[in-house]
Amino acid sequence: MSEIYTLSNKNGDNIELLLRQGTAGPSALEISPLYNNKGLLAFDPGFVSTASCESSITYIDGDQGILRYRGYPIEQLAAKSNFLEVAYLLIHGELPTRDQLSKFENIIIHHTMIKETMRNFFNGFHYNAHPMAVMIGVVGSMSAFYHDSIDIHDPKHREVSAHRLIAKMPTIAAACYKHSVSEPIMYPQNDLDYCGNFLHMMFSTPCEPFIPSKLAIEAMNLLFILHADHEQNASTSTVRMAGSSGANPFACIAAGIASLWGPAHGGANEAVLKMLKEIGDVSNIDKYIARAKDKNDSFRLMGFGHRVYRNFDPRATIIRNMCHKVLKETSDGNNPMFELALKLEEVALKDQYFIERKLYPNVDFYSGIIYRALNIPTNMFTVMFAIARTVGWVAHWMEMIADPSQRIGRPRQLYTGSVERNYVPMNKR
Ligand code: CMC
């Protein structure tokens, strides 16, 4: 049920705004009439109190540490599902039947190859280019290869584009890695599942196949599920904003990858590993905690804090448990970097600065330690995030395009520049 919310100023001038209720979470004031009726704008840098759209894909309650995809708790999906089933759920809204899932898996498997000419693109990049930089370029180029599916008004085109993006992302990601180590790019293998196929393309060579362990595939599935969506985060909002102008899906996802790369977002998993290496030893923790608290020092505890989670990030808890499992198999549980991360978390969680600001480990704090144990190089961590988040980006893009009330995204501003002034000739400046 909607109710009316009245805003008034000190002169008794009122405006009535609709308070819209979702199915869960905070209500939202519909402020569009503010400008039309009163010439006023809402000012909310960083969109702290702004719902940019309606969505029925993912729900987060940051105070309770709750994350649900299409209503299903993340803990249940992490324990019982796999990545492609979650992808189907996010895109279609319901868990698939056995038949629907096997059809979906079959479609994805048969879209994993990239065009032979696209493979040539990789050679244009210097071997030491960051894989995220290569990925932005190559994914952006997909609209040049698949222009048979970029009519966004045709539901069939939208579906084929979605399948192509989800299917080809691991192939492109692994090719980015192979290029960086000067090894031949591997073709996908259709008898492998999504995660197994990715590990094959990463680590097999034409001379020797790589057979991933069951645990490596399990861990990869888990990480991909946990990273698959997170409602209106920076990269998803970027995809929606780019898509709101009618841009094609490949261009929109390339924009999302660019946004994800930043260290405050998906780039944090790489930054965490670099930070742990820099800290080096538990004896240095106090020094780095002091630096994180010092407002004159730009150092932040990477993998800590979140705009929405103010209690704990449920994804971090699940990943921490998987970390124990993976490290037990790969290094008999003996991993100095994991020990350092656990100690760092313990010290920060007891520190008044972190307690007052409700800063907890986020999804990125432990994910890199698992990737590292699986021999994924540090500069590929954010690429891994991008593979998984492509599903969320695609789901949001499809939801947005199918929404009849969708309009181009066009925020306004509070102008603080010069008022009108006259042009000054060069000799008078
Ligand atoms: N280390 C030290 N201080 C911090 C940290 C941190 N990691 N995070 C926030 N703070 C402090 C910040 O200085 C501020 O203090 P004060 O109120 O005294 O000025 C307060 O906590 C609130 O921080 P904020 O920057 O206003 O919070 P935000 O919601 O705008 O930013 C964040 C959220 C995730 C960008 C931020 O916590 C951060 O930079 N964390 C480190 C990077 C990171 O781990 N990012 C991954 C996020 S989860 C995955 C994803 O989104 O992709």
Q: How long a stretch of residues is the chain?
A: 429
> CA-CA distance, 148 to 160, in Å (whole number)?
9
Q: By three-state DSSP, how is residue 285 classified?
A: helix
* Residue 225 buriedness (CB in 10 A; 0-12 / 13-18 / 19+): buried
| Cα distances (angstroms) measured from residue 126 to each of 168, 218, 384 | 22, 33, 21
Q: Is the distance from the beta carbon of residue 348 to the nearest atom of ligand 1 less than 6 Å? A: no
CA distances 166 to 89, 171, 293, 344, 377, Å, are: 14, 10, 40, 36, 22
> For 56-87, how does the pLDDT look when each residue is reduced to its tens digit (9 = 90+)?
999 999 999 999 999 999 999 999 999 999 99
Whether 315 lines ligand 1, by a CB cut-off of 6 Å, is no
Mutation probe of ligand 1 site: the residue of 223, 233, 301 with most atoms within 8 A of C-beta:
301
Q: Which residue's CA is minimally distant from atom 19 of ligand 1?
A: 295
| Tokens encoding 158 | 């939208």
Give the ligand 1 atom nearest the CA of 233: 51
Q: Which atom of ligand 1 is nearest to the CA of 48?
A: 29
- Average pLDDT (37-55) is 95
Cα dihedral across residues 416, 422, 426, 427: positive or negative:
negative
Identify the pLDDT of residue 331: 74
290 lines ligand 1 (CB under 6 A): no
- Decide: 222 and 318 in contact? Cβ < 8 Å: yes
Mean pLDDT of 389-409: 96
234 CA closest ligand 1 atom index:
51
Is 304 touching ligand 1 by the criterion CB < 6 Å? Answer: yes
Predicted local distance difference test score (pLDDT) of residue 338: 87
Contact 97, 85 (CB under 8 A): no
Active-site choice (200, 230, 364, 396): 364
Which residue out of 227, 265, 313, 396 is catalytically annotated?
Answer: 265
For ligand 1, atom 28, name the residue with the nearest CA: 307
Cα–Cα separations (whole angstroms), residue 81 to 101, 194, 363: 12, 13, 19
Indicate if the pLDDT at residue 273 is higher than 80.
Answer: yes
| Residue 1 banded pLDDT, cuts 50, 70, 90 | low
CA distance 287 to 123: 44
Report the separation in Å between the CA atom of 320 and the middle of ligand 1, taken as the mean of its atom positions.
Answer: 20
Does the Cβ of 388 fall within 6 Å of ligand 1? no
Query: Could you give the CA distance from residue 410 to residue 244 in angstroms, rounded to a whole number?
Result: 9
Q: How confident is the model at residue 357 (pLDDT cuts 50, 70, 90)?
A: very high
Q: Supply the DSSP symbol for 205.
A: B
Residue 359: the pLDDT is 94
Grade residue 311 by pLDDT with cuts at 50, 70 and 90. Answer: confident
| Residue nearest (by alpha carbon) to ligand 1 atom 49 | 265
- Measured at the CA of 222, the angle between CA 221 and CA 228, to 5 degrees, comes to 85
pLDDT score recorded for residue 205: 97
The number of C-alpha atoms within 13 Å of 391 and in the hemisphere containing its C-beta is 29
Is 324 a residue of the active site?
no
| Residues near 392 by beta carbon (within 8 Å), at least 6 away in sequence | 57, 58, 90, 228, 229, 230, 236
Rounded to an integer, what distance in angstroms lies between the CA atom of residue 256 and that of residue 20? 29
* 134-188 pLDDT, tens digit each: 999 999 999 999 988 889 999 999 999 999 999 999 999 999 999 999 999 999 9
Whether 153 is catalytic is no
Distance from the alpha carbon of residue 105 to the mean position of ligand 1, in angstroms: 38
Name the DSSP class of 97: P
User: Percentage of residues in the chain with pLDDT exceeding 90?
Assistant: 90
Instruction: At 341, list the tokens.
Output: 């991360």
Distance 41 CA to ligand 1 centre (A): 27
Q: Is 320 helix (H, G, I), strand (E, B) or coil?
A: helix
Predicted local distance difference test score (pLDDT) of residue 358: 92
Does position 332 have pLDDT exceeding 70, yes or no?
no
Ligand 1 centroid – CA 270 distance (Å): 16
Output the average pLDDT for the chain: 94
- Choice from 260, 301, 304, 382 to test ligand 1 binding pocket (greatest atom count within 8 A of CB): 304
pLDDT digits (tens, 9 = 90+) for 179-227: 999 999 999 999 999 999 999 999 999 999 999 999 999 999 999 999 9
Q: According to the model, what pLDDT value does residue 112 have?
A: 97
Say if ligand 1 is within 6 A of residue 160 CB.
no
**In ligand 1, which atom is closest to the CA atom of 266?**
52
Mean pLDDT computed over 87-100: 98
| Residue 303 CA to ligand 1 centre (angstroms) | 9
SS3 193: coil
**What is the Å distance from ligand 1's center to 302 Cα?**
8
Cβ of 359 closer than 6 Å to ligand 1, yes or no, is: yes
pLDDT of res. 333: 64
The stretch 3-29 carries a mean pLDDT of: 93
Number of the ligand 1 atom closest to the C-alpha atom of 272: 44
What's the alpha-carbon Rg for the chain, to the nearest Å? 23
Supply the pLDDT for residue 245: 97
Cα 300 to ligand 1 centroid, rounded to whole Å:
8
> Would the pTM count as exceeding 0.85?
yes
CA 215 vs CA 35, 195, 220, 325, 378: distances in Å:
55, 11, 8, 9, 20
Q: What is the sign, positive or negative, of the torsion defined by CA atoms of 252, 81, 84, 212?
A: positive
pLDDT at 377 over 70: yes
Percent of all residues in the chain with a pLDDT value above 70, rounded to a whole number = 99
Active site residue 364: yes
Q: What is the pLDDT of residue 148?
A: 87
- With b for 16 or more beta-carbon neighbours within 10 A and e for fewer, the 119-132 pattern comes to bebbeebeeebbbb
**How far is Cα 308 from Cα 386, in angstroms, rounded to an integer?**
20
